[in-house]
Amino acid sequence: MNMLLRPSPSQSALPLKSEGITNLSRRRFLGAGAGALVLGALLPALPHRALAQATANTVKPGTRIPAFLIVGRDNSFKLLSPFVEGGQGVSTGQAQMVGEELDVEPSRFVVECAPPGPDYAVIGGLRLTGGSFSTRSSYEVMRRLGATAREMFLRAAAARLDVPASELTTENGVVIHAASGRHVPYGEVAEAALALTPAENVPLRDPKTFRYIRQPLPRLDARDKSTGKAVYAIDQKLDGMLYAAVQHAPHLGTEPVSFANEAAVRAMPGVHGVHRLPGAVAVTADSWFRARKAVETLDVTWTRPEATGLKTVAADYSSEAMLAALKESKAAAVSAEKAGDAAAVFAAATRIVEAEYAAPYLAHAQLEPPSAMARFNPDGTLELWTPNQMPELFQSIAAKTAGLSPEKVILHSPILGGFFGRHFFYGAASPFPQAILLAKETGRPVKVLWSREEEFRMDALRPLSFTRFRAALGADGRPAALEARTVGEGPTGRYFGALFGGPVDGSAVEGLVEKPYAIADRSLDYVKLLHPVTIAFWRSVGHSMNDYFYEGFFDEVADAGGHDPFQLRLDLLKDRRRHLKLLQTVADLSGGWKRGPFDAEGGRRARGVAMASPFGSETATIAEVSLADGQVRVHDIWIAFDPGSIVNPGIIRSQVESAAALGVSTALFEEMVYADGVRQASNFDGYTILGRDHMPRIHVEIVESGEPMGGVGEPGLPGVVAAVVNAVAALTGRHIRTLPLSRTKFNA
């Protein structure tokens, strides 16, 4: 087992079991255990005093009940969640975990994303919504919080009723004294209860007695989201507010020089002002549509980009040239994983299989375009409403932008109209610094909204990626040794580099390393080659391409050795009970493994299988495809999903369906192409995402192995991409080594 990225000793102090996080990069991520370090990495210019304050904080995250729970006198329950809801169902899960132990039905909670503060740093001293961390990292914490609060309500009610607490029980938010038939709703003693000193080590419920956890409870937000009542960042408005629309520099890194028609634009209806911003221009107006029309009319001269090269987004930058650079790199690699002696096996091998795999840049394409609303208040504070996955970090950067100290920034984190990794801080990919600068300049509250076109221009992208594989076949046709060399850059290295320090970027190699297959001799190398474009975390991160690469190549190896790919997986997993069970489960779910091709309604079809181990969960996936007009059609996806243990099986199912849909979307359609230094798609007409007409049936079976809880939001995706590609190989005999499949023309 690769121990290059060894968990640091400080991890033992984390409020979660270290083995609960089995993901390579994530282990390191948590290992360093200090949000301040992350801030340091991202904000080299942040004054040391602010960092010192952050580290000196003595609050133990997840323990101060009043920071999380607001109980009204009317017995209403509000939960301030460390996490932001963006479709993944985390708010409902938090209510289940707290409600279970507090003894309050989860449907009674109103859940909001908590403001910035040290109480909410429940992921190893860090706070973020991402990495499929939320539920698994907070499971113990939130249950304990609920149990501790319940004990306080019992004590407060005991004082009120003048009986020993041992004579009291609770039922759905009410303390009951059975002997006297008296009832005290939590709300009636909330003030007294929450002022008590919390008891240590309040026992948690025996999971056998769970009523809410492990149940497919309905989402708390389903009705508001079905009636238009849910409020997103884009929906918010302030008195006296100006609307702002922007036009970004055509080439990332260039700046506005001059405007040819400023007077004419200023004279357009409703226009308040024309503004320069870093890398952009803006118009403020009394409505967004007017602002947008005006800013698009503005005739801007920009500085010139570099003429050529890959260090910046140069005038001739292209994704094709970048891919060629990844392929041609001769740079010395560092080892991401090594076992046995692959070189010796290759030297003696008689049969070697080789392949190069590539995957394109991808946009998040969440349906809500980014926006930000900023207001400087008379008391000297700045109030900011903007989508974000990391409130404390956004607060710090907002403070720096505004020239204030962080505690003077009041940050609101509204629900997200989809995110998939979109709302981490990626520099110029976030609109909130623009809102702050414009509010400062105009002296008015300002709401910046990016048009879809500006969003496609500025979104941070899943990096374009490349891996070269070699496998040596043994006499039995099975892989005896495997080598991979992956070249590129991952978001963890770029944005959290100082936290990790190591030479291997986990987010670039995850999905290639720590595979469960019994291949004794292997060597996986990484070469860091920086992208000039803004790169991002994107649903399932490195797994989103690497599991496709690895599992696609696996089927090439199986075919070369004359083995059925499903059987070869069984053979190489024979000591892995968890994986075997999943493979068997997905085969059964699909009616028994059959690769095909076989005849079906509308023509020949075939199936492909793939495994993946993302974010502490395990998946086995089968896809069935056919060809129509030379293009791939996906009919069915079967997924056996093992997240170890579960909180809400209904939400897990939804998340796996959603991840599968995104997987199909990227397998078939998605790529963000650069040519001449600019992105070639500016809206959904140029960047195709999966629509209903290509949506397959999706069948999910949840397997609870009882292993430590893994992630849920992302892990369903990577196996789908590989299973689809492997099904195409079964149908056509062609192993497609680059995505999307729509680039390849197939003969029907």
Partner 1 sequence: MIRININGRDYDVAAEPDTPLLWVLRDTLGLTGTKYGCGIAQCGACTVLVDGEATRSCQLALENVGSAHIRTIEAIEQDEVGRKLVEAWVEVQVPQCGYCQSGQIMAAAALLSQNPHPTDADIADAMTNLCRCGTYNRIAAAIHHAAA
Residue 228 binds which entry of partner 1, ligand FES, none, CB below 5-8 Å type-dependent: partner 1
Residue 281, phi then psi, degrees to nearest 5 = -125, 155
**Is the omega angle on the peptide bond into residue 198 within 30 degrees of 0, that is, cis?**
no
**CB 671: neighbour CB atoms within 10 A?**
21
Cα–Cα distance for residue pair 292/303, rounded to 1 Å: 22
Residue 313 binds which entry of partner 1, ligand FES, none, CB below 5-8 Å type-dependent: none
> C-beta of 84: minimal distance to ligand FES in Å?
14
The two beta strands, 409-412 and 351-359, are: unpaired
Is position 502 an interface residue for ligand FES (rule: CB under 6 A)? no
Q: Which is nearer to ligand FES, 340 or 418 (CB)?
A: 418
Residue 708 binds which entry of ligand FES, partner 1, none, CB below 5-8 Å type-dependent: none
Q: Which stretch binds partner 1 (CB under 8 A): 159-167, 309-317, 363-371, 398-406?
A: 363-371
DSSP character at residue 241: P
529: amino acid identity, one letter: L
Is position 685 an interface residue for partner 1 (rule: CB under 8 A)? yes
CA distances from 178 to 42, 75, 147, 174, 524 (A): 56, 20, 21, 12, 65
Q: 115 near 109, Cβ under 8 Å?
A: no
Q: How many helices (H) and strands (E) does the chain have?
A: 21, 27
Residue 689 binds which entry of partner 1, ligand FES, none, CB below 5-8 Å type-dependent: partner 1
Interface of this chain with partner 1, residues 279 to 308, rule: CB under 8 A: 287-290
Q: 399 near 408, Cβ under 8 Å?
A: yes
Residue 665 binds which entry of ligand FES, partner 1, none, CB below 5-8 Å type-dependent: partner 1
Packing angle, helices 565-572 and 543-560, rounded to 10: 100
Interface of this chain with partner 1, residues 379 to 438, rule: CB under 8 A: 415-420
Residue pointed to by tokens 């499903």: 566
Query: Which one of residues 21, 220, 409, 661 is an interface residue with partner 1 (CB under 8 A)?
Result: 661
Q: Which stretch binds partner 1 (CB under 8 A): 221-229, 424-432, 480-488, 725-733?
A: 221-229
Counting every residue written for the chain, the total comes to 748
Interface of this chain with partner 1, residues 443 to 462, rule: CB under 8 A: 449, 451-452
Contacts with partner 1 by CB under 8 A: the residue count is 61
Q: Which stretch binds partner 1 (CB under 8 A): 118-126, 462-470, 564-572, 688-696?
A: 688-696
Cα–Cα distance for residue pair 630/266, rounded to 1 Å: 52
Interface of this chain with partner 1, residues 588 to 627, rule: CB under 8 A: none
CA distances from 276 to 300, 306, 403, 615 (A): 10, 21, 18, 42
> C-beta of 87: minimal distance to ligand FES in Å?
5
Residue 227, phi then psi, degrees to nearest 5 = -130, 10
- C-alpha 671 chain-centroid distance: 19
b vs e for 224-252, b when ≥16 Cβ sit within 10 Å of the residue's Cβ? eeeeeebebbbebeeeebbbbbbbbbebb
> C-beta of 365: minimal distance to ligand FES in Å?
10
Is position 649 an interface residue for partner 1 (rule: CB under 8 A)? no
Interface of this chain with ligand FES, residues 86 to 115, rule: CB under 6 A: 87
- Interface map 355-384 toward ligand FES (x if CB under 6 A): ------------x-----------------
End-to-end CA distance of the chain: 44
Query: Which one of residues 60, 229, 574, 734 is an interface residue with partner 1 (CB under 8 A)?
Result: 229
DSSP character at residue 574: T
Interface of this chain with partner 1, residues 31 to 90, rule: CB under 8 A: 86-89
DSSP character at residue 510: B
Whole-angstrom Cα Rg for the chain:
27
Is position 418 an interface residue for ligand FES (rule: CB under 6 A)? yes
Residue/partner pairs of 220-229 with CB below 8 Å, 24 or more apart: 220/91, 220/92, 220/95, 220/106, 220/107, 220/109, 220/110, 220/111, 221/85, 221/91, 221/92, 221/415
CA quadruple 376, 379, 384, 385: dihedral positive or negative?
A: negative
Q: Which is nearer to partner 1, 47 or 686 (CB)?
A: 686
Q: Which is nearer to partner 1, 247 or 658 (CB)?
A: 658
Is position 683 an interface residue for partner 1 (rule: CB under 8 A)? yes
> C-beta of 90: minimal distance to ligand FES in Å?
14
> C-beta of 449: minimal distance to partner 1 in Å?
8
Cα–Cα distance for residue pair 95/76, rounded to 1 Å: 13
Q: Which is nearer to ligand FES, 260 or 367 (CB)?
A: 367
> C-beta of 658: minimal distance to ligand FES in Å?
8
The two beta strands, 168-171 and 174-177, are: antiparallel
> C-beta of 439: minimal distance to partner 1 in Å?
18
- Interface map 320-359 toward ligand FES (x if CB under 6 A): ----------------------------------------
Query: Which one of residues 13, 59, 199, 231 is an interface residue with partner 1 (CB under 8 A)?
Result: 231
Residue 697 binds which entry of partner 1, ligand FES, none, CB below 5-8 Å type-dependent: partner 1
Query: SS3 of 123, please?
Result: strand
- C-alpha 519 chain-centroid distance: 30
- Interface map 52-91 toward ligand FES (x if CB under 6 A): -----------------------------------x----
Query: SS3 of 291, please?
Result: helix
Residue pointed to by tokens 């293009």: 631
> C-beta of 270: minimal distance to ligand FES in Å?
21
Closest by alpha carbon to 29, among 588, 552, 496, 677? 496
Q: Which is nearer to ligand FES, 218 or 418 (CB)?
A: 418
Q: Which is nearer to partner 1, 121 or 372 (CB)?
A: 372
Is position 240 an interface residue for partner 1 (rule: CB under 8 A)? no
Q: Which helix (H) or strand (E) holds 577?
A: helix 577-589
Query: SS3 of 471, please?
Result: strand
Q: Which is nearer to ligand FES, 198 or 418 (CB)?
A: 418
Ordered DSSP codes for 687-724: S----GGGPPEEEEEE----SSP---TTTHHHHHHHHH
Q: Which is nearer to ligand FES, 367 or 520 (CB)?
A: 367
Q: Which is nearer to ligand FES, 379 or 685 (CB)?
A: 685
Cα–Cα distance for residue pair 560/469, rounded to 1 Å: 14
Q: Which is nearer to partner 1, 31 or 86 (CB)?
A: 86
Q: Which stretch binds partner 1 (CB under 8 A): 151-159, 578-586, 588-596, 658-666?
A: 658-666
Please report, as ranges, the residues that interact with partner 1 according to CB under 8 A.
Answer: 86-89, 218-219, 221-232, 234-235, 237, 243, 269, 287-290, 365-369, 415-420, 449, 451-452, 650, 654-655, 657-658, 660-662, 665, 683-685, 689-693, 695, 697-698
Contact residues for ligand FES, defined by CB under 6 A: 87, 367, 418
